Structure 1
Amino acid sequence: MRRLTKKKALHLVKGLDAFPKVPDSYVETTASGGTVSLMAFTFMLILAFLEFFVYRETWMHYEYEVDKDFKSKLRLNVDITVAMKCQYIGADVLDLAETMVASDGLNYEPVRFVCLFVLGRTLQHIQERLREEHSLQHVLFKSLMKDSPSSLPPREDHPSAPQAACRIHGHLYVNKVAGNFHITVGKAIPHPRGHAHLAALVSHDSYNFSHRIDHLSFGEKLHGTINPLDGTEKISPDHNHMFQYFITIVPTKLNTYQIAADTHQYSVTERERPINHAAGSHGVSGIFMKYDISSLMVRVTEQHMPFWKFLVRLCGIVGGIFSTTGTDEGLPPVYSPAWLKPTLYVIFNPEPDVWSCDVSLDWQRCA
C-alpha cells in the first residue's frame, strides 16, 4: 500500500516537470551545432570573466548632512616658502570674530627659494595628478594616491648657498569660523581692534612675495592624499604684489576599506594683482588665504557589489546565452532543401505500416 502511494506521489511530481527531456535517440549532433556551442561557451567565459572584474570594483557613495560640530578647533597645516628673509615677514591668522590666533606652531627656516631636483619632481608629480583626473576626489578617496610619497622629501640646501628665502611650516589650531591666514611684511603685534604688522622698517625694494606652496591642508594629515594647492608656485612680477586665495572648506567623514578618518576637503579660487595706490589699486602686499567653512558635511563611504547580486548577474549571463543559442539552433532553415525533402516525403508518401516521427517539425503523426 505504501509503495502504491509512493508511486502515485512520484507520478504526480513527474507530471509537474516543467523541463521535459528529449530522448537521446531523437537528438542529432552536427558540426554546426558543435561550432555554435563552442562559441557560446567562449562568449560565456569572457562575459563571466568581465563580470568578475565588475564585482571587484568599488564606488564612492556620498551623503550630505548638517555639520553639528562647531565647538571643536580646526587644524591648519601649512608649508610655504617665500622669497624673502625670515626677519622681514610674519604669518598669522585673524578670524571673523576678530580673534588673533597665536602663531607659536609655525617655524621660520631660512632656505633657498629654488628647490632641488627630488623635491621639484615630487611637487611636479602632484600637480600632474591634480590636472589629469576629471573626477579627482573619486580617485583620491579610493586609492589615497598609492604611488605618491607619504611626505615630501627632506630639503638638502647647501650650507654655503645664499639663503634669501624663508620656509614657514607647521600647524595652527583655529576656530571653525571664517578667517584669514596671511603672510605679509613685518612681524605681527596685537592690537585692540585686531592686529598690525611692523612694516615701516622694511624697505620696499626688499618686497618679493614670490612663493611656493609645498603643502596646505585642513584637519588631521592623511598620508597619501594631495590637496588643490600642493605644489603651487607663484612668481611676483614686481615688488608690491598681492596674492589672494579664496578657500571653501567642506568637513568630510571618510570611510573606505583602507581607512576611516575625519578630514576636510577644500576648493580654491586664485587672484593676484599689483598694488599701485596711484592707479587706484589699493591693498597690502602679501599672501592672503581667506577661508570659509561650509555648514554641510559630506559623508563618503566606499561600497561594493553584494555577492548575491554577483551570482544573480552571473546566472543571467549563463542562462541568457544558453537560451539564445538554443533558440537559434531550433529555428528551421527555411531555404534549405534538406528541410523541404522530409516534409514532402511525409505529405506525399504515406506508408501506414511504418511509424516514425519527424523531430525537426515536431509532427506526431504516422508516416
Structure 2
Amino acid sequence: MERIINNLKSLDAYPKINEDFYNRTLSGGVITLVSSLVMFILFVSEFRLYLHTITETKLLVDTSRGEKLRINFDVTFPAIPCTLLSLDAMDISGEQHRDIRHDIIKRRINSHGDVIEVRQDGIGAPKIEKPLQRHGGRLEHNEKYCGSCYGAEMTDDDCCNTCEEVREAYRKKGWGLTNADLIDQCTREGFFQKIKDEEGEGCNIFGSLEVNRIAGNFHFVAGKSFQQSNLHFNDLVFQTDSYNITHRINRLAFGDYFPGVVNPLDGVQWVHQTPSGMYQYFIKVVPTIYTDIRGRTVHSNQYSVTEHFRNSEVVHFDSVSGVFFVYDLSPIKVTFKEEHISFLHLMTHICAVIGGIFTVAGIIDSFIYHGQRAIKKKKMEMGKFG
C-alpha cells in the first residue's frame, strides 16, 4: 500500500514549494487582486450566457409538398365602401376564388376612422317577398321560385334566384352587367341602396385566406371581379370613373407568429394621388420553422417585398384598379432552433478563463519582479563603485 502511495506521489505534476522560500511582493498582491476581479467578471459573463438561450439558424432545401399556405391580413381602405370592396384570390394552377367571404370580416368606417358597422358575410339577400318569376308575374302561394337570368341561362332549366346568381350567369357568358338597376333580384336585395347609404365611407377588411402552397396572388378591388379568357375584368354594375385605392396595411403575415419574426408590410400606408391605378406588392415568401427551447415547433413563413404602382395611363383594359399582392415561394427553407449552451461547454470556458488569466498574471508578475531585482542590483553595484 505504501508503495502505491509513493508511486502516486511521483506522478504529482504540481510539486509544492516550502513556504520558507516564498517571497511575497506588493506588485504580486496588486496583480492577484486585479486578476481575481477579471476572473469574476468573465465568470459572471459566461454563466449569464449559459442561462440564456441561443438561436441556431440553418438553411435547407424545402422539400415539402401538398401543404396549404395561410395568409392573415388586416387592411384599411379609407375611401372605398365595404359594399364595393371585393377580395379575390387565384394561383398559377388556375384555381380561382372570387368575392371571398369565408373567414372575412368587414368593418364600415367613417371619414374619421370610427367603426360604424361590423359585417361578416358581405351583402346578403333578404327574405323573398313575391319576386318576379322567370316566366313573368310574381311568386304566388306554394309556387316554387325560379328567377330569370335575363338572357344568360345556359339551359332551359337554369334559375337565378339572387343578384349574385345573375351576375355569375353573366360572368360565364362573358357579359358585363350594365343594367343591374333593371334586374329584379338586385333591386330587391338593395345593392344600389347600400352603395348610396355607404357613400363617403371607408372599409377595414381583415381575416385569413388558406390557399395552395404555390405562386399566386390575392387582391382587393372595387366591385365584383371575374375571370374570363385569362383576362381580369370588373363587373360594370359598380364601376365609376375612378377609385381612390389609398390603403393602410395594418398587418400582413404568411403563417403563424413566432418570436423574432418581422413582417415588412405591417403598418405600411400608401396615399393615392392619381385618378385610378393598380398598386402591386411583389412578395417572396420564405418557409420558416421555429423550434423553441421546450421543443415546440411553429411552421410559418417570412417574406420580403417590392412595390410598384401602375397609374391610369398604363393600366390597360385587362386590368382593374385595386391593390394586388403577388406572392411566390422560395425553394430555400430557414430553420431557427433555440438551445442552451451545454454544461461541459460552460466548464471548458471557465477553465480556459481561470487558466489563461493565471498564466498571463504570472508572466506579468514575473516580468515586474525580475525587473525590480535588476534595478535594485544595478543600484547596489553603482553604490559600491561610488
TM > 0.5: yes
Question: C-alpha displacement at 1:339, in angstroms?
Answer: 4.0
Check 1:337–1:171 CA distance in 2 against 1; reply closer, same or farther (3 A cut). closer
Q: Structure 2 residue aligned with 1:187, among 224, 237, 243?
A: 224
Does structure 2 retain, via aligned residues, the 8 Å contact 1:189–1:196? Answer: yes
1:1-367 → structure 2 map (5 Å cutoff) = 6-82=1-77, 83-101=79-97, 103-105=100-102, 106-112=104-110, 115=113, 164-189=201-226, 191=228, 193=230, 196-199=233-236, 201-205=238-242, 207-221=243-257, 225-257=261-293, 259-276=296-313, 283-331=319-367, 332-333=370-371, 336-339=374-377
The number of residues matched between the two structures is 293
Question: C-alpha displacement at 1:225, in angstroms?
Answer: 5.0
What amino acid is aligned across from residue 41 of structure 1 in structure 2? Answer: S
| Rounded Cα–Cα distance in structure 1 between residues aligned with 2:290 and 2:30 | 52
Alignment RMSD: 3.1
Does structure 1 retain, via aligned residues, the 8 Å contact 2:249–2:268? Answer: yes
Question: Identity of aligned pairs, percent?
Answer: 31
What amino acid is aligned across from residue 312 of structure 1 in structure 2? Answer: T
Check 1:58–1:220 CA distance in 2 against 1; reply closer, same or farther (3 A cut). closer
| Rounded Cα–Cα distance in structure 2 between residues aligned with 1:22 and 1:343 | 31
Question: C-alpha displacement at 1:316, in angstroms?
Answer: 1.0
Question: C-alpha displacement at 1:43, in angstroms?
Answer: 1.6
Does structure 1 retain, via aligned residues, the 8 Å contact 2:106–2:204? Answer: yes
Between 285-294 and 327-336, report the one with greater CA deviation: 327-336
Between 79-88 and 279-288, report the one with greater CA deviation: 279-288
Does structure 2 retain, via aligned residues, the 8 Å contact 1:248–1:266? Answer: yes
Does structure 1 retain, via aligned residues, the 8 Å contact 2:111–2:201? Answer: yes
Does structure 2 retain, via aligned residues, the 8 Å contact 1:217–1:227? Answer: yes
SS of 1:87 mapped into structure 2: coil
| Rounded Cα–Cα distance in structure 2 between residues aligned with 1:228 and 1:68 | 26
SS of 2:16 mapped into structure 1: coil
| Rounded Cα–Cα distance in structure 2 between residues aligned with 1:263 and 1:338 | 73
Check 1:176–1:337 CA distance in 2 against 1; reply closer, same or farther (3 A cut). closer
Check 1:341–1:230 CA distance in 2 against 1; reply closer, same or farther (3 A cut). closer
What amino acid is aligned across from residue 355 of structure 2 in structure 1? Answer: G
| Rounded Cα–Cα distance in structure 1 between residues aligned with 2:111 and 2:250 | 12
Question: C-alpha displacement at 1:221, in angstroms?
Answer: 4.8
Does structure 2 retain, via aligned residues, the 8 Å contact 1:112–1:162? Answer: no
| Rounded Cα–Cα distance in structure 1 between residues aligned with 2:230 and 2:75 | 28
| Rounded Cα–Cα distance in structure 1 between residues aligned with 2:259 and 2:9 | 65
What amino acid is aligned across from residue 95 of structure 1 in structure 2? Answer: D
- Residue 138 of structure 1: aligned partner: none
| Rounded Cα–Cα distance in structure 2 between residues aligned with 1:115 and 1:201 | 24
Check 1:208–1:337 CA distance in 2 against 1; reply closer, same or farther (3 A cut). closer
Check 1:271–1:195 CA distance in 2 against 1; reply closer, same or farther (3 A cut). closer
Does structure 1 retain, via aligned residues, the 8 Å contact 2:258–2:290? Answer: no
What amino acid is aligned across from residue 270 of structure 2 in structure 1? Answer: K
Cα displacement string for residues 143-163 of structure 1 (whole angstroms, at most 9, x for unaligned residues): xxxxxxxxxxxxxxxxxx996
SS of 2:12 mapped into structure 1: coil
Q: Which runs of 5+ in 1 are unaligned?
A: 1-5, 117-160, 345-367
Check 1:193–1:38 CA distance in 2 against 1; reply closer, same or farther (3 A cut). closer
| Rounded Cα–Cα distance in structure 1 between residues aligned with 2:273 and 2:379 | 93
Check 1:224–1:187 CA distance in 2 against 1; reply closer, same or farther (3 A cut). farther
Does structure 2 retain, via aligned residues, the 8 Å contact 1:101–1:174? Answer: no
What amino acid is aligned across from residue 223 of structure 2 in structure 1? Answer: G
| Rounded Cα–Cα distance in structure 2 between residues aligned with 1:190 and 1:26 | 98
Q: Which runs of 5+ in 2 are unaligned?
A: 115-197
| Rounded Cα–Cα distance in structure 2 between residues aligned with 1:179 and 1:71 | 15
